[in-house]
Amino acid sequence: MTAAAADQEAARDLVLRTAMLLDAEDFDAWVKLFDEDGIYELTAYSTEIRRWMTWQSSDRMTLDKMLKEVNEHVRDTAQRRHIVGMPLVEIDGNAARVRSNFSVFRTLADGQSALYMTGQYDDHIVRRSGVWLYTLHKVIADTRILDSFTHTPI
């Protein structure tokens, strides 16, 4: 495998690992996928006000604190399952942009599943000591009306 192909694969693996860790609610491991100054951002376009809305913008330290406290809140306990399309990777040296479409399904304790959210990840990543990390993990949500709010990242 060439170095370029290995970088492409590693970048795709980062996005897929992100989804799997969120599904498993392994938030400690998920936060470690961010660079020291990495940002998680959740946005959506509002047709009513004709502009972009930022629902959340948090740095790594804020994410870590928030996720350590998530079980102290009343929260939706339904299982979430991310389905991620093949990521498109554009590498420029030790930086890359990775875009991928996603769907999140929500399954209740009784086994009923429904589509929860669709959107796109627009990620900016950097290679540090041979490991790809997020400098920006941006969720661009198509879905703006949610059945239930989640205290966990998408």
Q: How far apart are CA 151 and CA 8, in angstroms?
A: 31
Which of the listed CATH numbers 3.10.450.50, 3.40.640.10, 2.40.170.20, 3.30.980.20 matches domain 3-141? 3.10.450.50
The backbone torsions φ and ψ at residue 152, rounded to the nearest 5 degrees and listed phi first, read -110, 155
pLDDT 10s per residue in the chain (154 long)?
Answer: 798 899 999 999 999 999 999 999 999 999 999 999 999 999 999 999 999 999 999 999 999 999 999 878 778 889 999 999 999 999 999 999 999 999 999 999 999 999 999 999 999 999 999 999 999 999 999 998 887 777 789 9
Tell me, what's the pLDDT at 77?
84
* Residues 47, 48, 49, 52, CA torsion sign: negative
Tell me, what's the pLDDT at 83?
98
Extract long-range pairs of 85-89: CB within 8 Å, 24+ residues apart: 86/12, 87/11, 87/12, 87/15, 87/16, 87/121, 89/7, 89/8, 89/11, 89/12
Residue pair 82/19 in contact (Cβ under 8 Å)? The answer is: yes
Look at residues 56, 67, 62 and name the one whose alpha carbon lies nearest to residue 29. Answer: 67
Q: Report in angstroms the alpha-carbon separations of 154 from 22, 38, 56, 91, 116.
A: 8, 16, 11, 24, 10
- Buried b / exposed e across 81-120, counting CB within 10 Å, b at 16+? ebebeebebebeeeebebbbbbbbbbeeeeeeeeebbebe
